[in-house]
Amino acid sequence: MTKKKMVSGITPSGTMTLGNYLGVVKQWVEFQNEYDMYIFIANLHAITMPQDKEKLRKNLKEVSTLYFACGMDANKSTIFLQSDVMEHAQLGWIMNTQSTMGELSRMTQFKDKSAKVESSGKESIPAGLFTYPTLMAADILMYDVDFVPVGVDQKQHIEIARDIAIRMNNKFGDLFTIPEALITKNNIKIMDLQDPTKKMSKSSTNPKAIITMLDKPEEIRSKIKAAVTDSENLIKYDFENKPGVTNLMNIYMILKGITKEQAEAHWNNKNYKDLKDDVAEAIVEMITPIQNRYNELYNSKEMEQWLEDGANKARKIAYKKLQKVQNNMGLNYKRK
Q: How many CA atoms lie within 13 A of 57 on its CB side?
A: 2
Alpha carbon 244 to its chain's center: 22
With beta carbons less than 8 A apart as the criterion, state whether 280 and 221 touch: yes
Closest distance of CB 5 from ligand AQP, Å? 17
> What is the secondary structure of 3-39 as a DSSP string?
PPEEEEEE--SSSPBHHHIIIIIHHHHHHTTTSEEEE
Residues 122-161 that bind ligand AQP (CB under 6 A): 150-151, 153-154
Question: Does residue 113 carry a catalytic annotation?
Answer: yes
Which of 5, 202, 276, 321 is the catalytic position? 202
Which residue of 5, 13, 181, 182 would you call a contact of ligand AQP, by CB under 6 A? 13
Binding segment (CB under 6 A) for ligand AQP, from list 18-26, 85-93, 120-128, 220-228: 18-26
17 vs 19: CA distance, rounded Å: 5
Which position's Cβ is nearest ligand AQP? 23
Q: Is 199 in the site for ligand AQP (CB under 6 A)?
A: yes
Instruction: For the chain, list the strands marked E by DSSP.
Output: 5-10, 36-41, 78-81, 147-150, 180-183
Rounded distance between C-alpha atoms, residue 253 and residue 153, angstroms: 20
In the residue annotation, 202 being an active-site residue is answered as yes
Rg (CA), the chain: 21
299: left (phi over 0), alpha (psi -120 to 50) or beta: left
Do 214 and 298 meet the contact criterion of CB atoms below 8 Å apart?
A: no
Closest CB to ligand AQP among 27 and 229?
A: 27
Binding flag, residue 228, ligand AQP (CB under 6 A): no
202 binds ligand AQP (CB under 6 A): yes
Nearer CB in complex with ligand AQP: 14/179? 14
Decide if residue 11 touches ligand AQP (CB under 6 A): yes
Sequence-ordered list of residues with C-beta below 8 angstroms from that of 157, at least 6 positions apart, any chain? 107, 109, 133, 136, 150
Among 190, 245, 253, 280, binds ligand AQP (CB under 6 A): 190
- Whether 236 is catalytic is no
Q: Binder to ligand AQP among 41, 94, 142, 200 (CB under 6 A)?
A: 200
Question: Quick check: 201 binds ligand AQP (CB under 6 A)?
Answer: yes
Among 29, 37, 42, 79, binds ligand AQP (CB under 6 A): 42
Q: Catalytic amino acids?
A: 113, 199, 202
The residues that touch ligand AQP, with contacts defined as CB under 6 A, are 10-11, 13-14, 17, 19-20, 23-24, 42, 150-151, 153-154, 189-190, 199-203
